[in-house]
Amino acid sequence: MHIHILGICGTFMGGLAALAREAGHRVTGCDAGVYPPMSDQLRALGIDLIEGFGAEQLALQPDVFVVGNTVSRSRLDNGTAKFPLIEAILDAGAPYTSGPQWLAEHVLQGRHVLAVAGTHGKTTTTAMLTWILESAGLQPGFLVGGVPLNFGVSARLGQGQPFVIEADEYDTAFFDKRSKFVHYRPRTAVLNNLEFDHADIFDNLAAIERQFHHLVRTVPSTGRIVVNGLEESLSRVLHQGCWSEVRSFGAAVSDFSALGEPHDFDVLQGGKTVAHVQWALTGVHNQLNALAAIAAAEHVGVAPADAALALARFENVKRRMEVRASVVLAEPPHGAPVTIYDDFAHHPTAIRTTVNGLRRKVGGARILAVFEPRSNTMKLGTMKAQLPWSLEEADLAFCHAKHCAPYCGRGRVSCISPLFSTPFP
């Protein structure tokens, strides 16, 4: 099969392209930003890339066009189509589908799908779960919205029955406004957390809860739903109806809970110690991610003790508290190294738990946080009021933004400036 992917350089669509190529399909694609590193990765797989969305690509005559959710029927100020290829596809009556739909029909069919959903922590938890199954010899396939350092790639087909996928609640395509994850039909579904996000497509938290319940409806009666017992929003989701086995984690009375610090803790199942995790990761959020991954892995036969041993060798995902540099200042004050971390956290809760994990690690050392609003929700300034709370454990916080007006009020095209008028007490 020849598939032509629109929006191929996104993390999800790039992973889908890699899976399709590995499965033996001919893959071509286009995007508005065909540049490294994704372009290099795709071309190394033998995938031809085209810059832009010109209508002339219709002449490729693929078996199907696979349309990413960054593609729309928008028009430019002069009235012309922003994505001429879409107009040409529709006019010609050419076959097209969404990325999640193609994935469900050609990759996930017949597999034991383990889907990890949540407002934040999806990528890390998906990577943890995949590594646990790999360490158990299950040879899982996976599609992760990042690059797990244990694997070095974001997607692979795998030789075993399990397939682990990061299950995003963002909409599927311009012609399918359901969340991506409703296409995956998991037998094991992780509901990691649920807060308001994606203000560009959801009006309120209730709208997102409704989408999560659509996911719950797709889990079979023999399946398992792994749910964060600390989240009232997820309790509301399950109260709308649940037809599968439920295993909770996080709360003291949950099926799976933790005793100890996030970097060194016992795993309790039904109140009894069944495993011990000691690893390099920090933060309560990662402790919860670990519990979710352990509970999900148990559903495919991996004992919690074996899962914990695998997590001791887990190397996390790129851009998750990744050390980018460590230097000693030449000018006073000098002596102690300055370490620069890069982290993808984009939701206030995720930012808070990440900074808290770093504070636990460095103690009283100074933390300077540079916040860059990148998600659509953050660019809109929707959660500006929560930022003092999310960054309060940093000694100073700065905003670095292409358009920083929602945060610092200066409205410059590009600047780095104090996010708040005074340091946190």
Q: DSSP letter at 104?
A: I
110-311: CATH topology is UDP-N-acetylmuramoyl-L-alanine:D-glutamate ligase (3.40.1190)
Per residue in 160-176, pLDDT (tens digit) is 999 999 999 989 999 99
Q: Which residue numbers in the chain have pLDDT < 50? A: 403, 410-425
pLDDT at 415: 43
pLDDT number for residue 410:
44
List every span in the chain annotated with CATH 3.40.50.720: 2-100
In 3D space, the residue among 7, 377, 15, 67 whose CA is nearest the CA of residue 208 turns out to be: 377
- Does 322-418 carry CATH code 3.10.20.30? no
d(CA 35, CA 33): 6
Query: How much is the pLDDT for 202?
Result: 77
Contacts of 399 (CB under 8 A, 6+ apart): 370, 371, 372, 373, 407, 408, 415, 416, 417, 418, 419
Are the CB atoms for 72 and 47 separated by under 8 Å?
no
* Type and span of the H or E element at 156: strand 155-156
What is d(CA 372, CA 30) in angstroms, rounded to the nearest whole number?
28
* CATH 3.40.1190.10 in the chain, residue ranges: 110-311
Helix axes 304-311, 284-298, angle to 10 degrees: 140
pLDDT, tens digit, 9 for 90 and up, residues 112-146 = 999 999 988 889 999 999 999 999 999 999 999 88
Among 139, 128, 153, residue whose Cα is nearest residue 315: 128
| Single-letter residue type at 400 | H
Q: What is the pLDDT of residue 204?
A: 87
CATH 3.40.50.720 corresponds to the domain 2-100 = yes
307: closest CA among 131, 124, 132?
Answer: 132
Domain with CATH 3.90.190.20 in the chain: 322-418
Q: Identify the pLDDT of residue 414.
A: 38
CA distance 110 to 235: 30
SS3 382: coil
